[in-house]
Amino acid sequence: MDKLDQLNVSVIFLLISLAAVKKFGVATENSNLDSTSLSVEGEYNKEYPTVEILKSGAVGEEIETRQQPIKITYGYSRDRRPDLKQFMIDLIVSGDGDVPLFLKVGDGNEADKAVFGQIAREFKKQVDFDSLIVGDSALYSKENLKLMREMRWLSRVPFSIKEAQELVDSISEKELTDSEIPGYSWRETSSNYGGIEQRWLLVESQARQESDLKKLEKKIEQEKNWA
């Protein structure tokens, strides 16, 4: 355990995973990035300071800085236990069989949007294959796009972005193309959001549209009853 503490556990995990991928022929054309929280019992009040160790070598003395342990604290709970402290697990799995490829733990109040780009970049540096990184809207931000400039990625553009809102408002249903999948239509366009040239697909779901309409009608009915 002491030796593991001195090494990068994420790299060790990756090496073991890649050995399994090679042995069992797991496809790596695309990889999925996501996170979850793990709740724990206890107070975890102890703060660990950054430790600098003076080491002597053949070329003289150098200072090694030990990384601080993660901070176990309160945050957005995926398992619906906001009363417990937690830590985060960031995981990249293969699109073929969801085989874990890269794992990193983080502070309990870590935000996906703040770390996903860097995690994808670290993963890319460690592997010798070109894998399409797939992530949810937390992956899509100007900062993350710049970090992934030299990578292939696929994400959902959050509707909070003004350009996405303007695109939806500017395109009518007549301008959409029917998909081969029943109940869907789409329109392709380009964007330079964040200074990165990219392809956007606007997709309309008939089932989602009907569901949203029912929710709206229910909300209107509730407003009438309260009036």
Identify the segments of the chain with pLDDT beneath 70. Answer: 1-2, 4-7, 46-68, 227
pLDDT of residue 69: 76
Backbone torsions φ then ψ of 188, nearest 5 degrees: -100, 140
d(CA 173, CA 177): 9
Tens of pLDDT, residues 45-95: 766 655 555 555 555 555 555 556 789 999 999 989 999 999 999 999 999
pLDDT of residue 5: 64
d(CA 166, CA 158): 12
State both tokens at 163: 């350009």
pLDDT of residue 39: 95
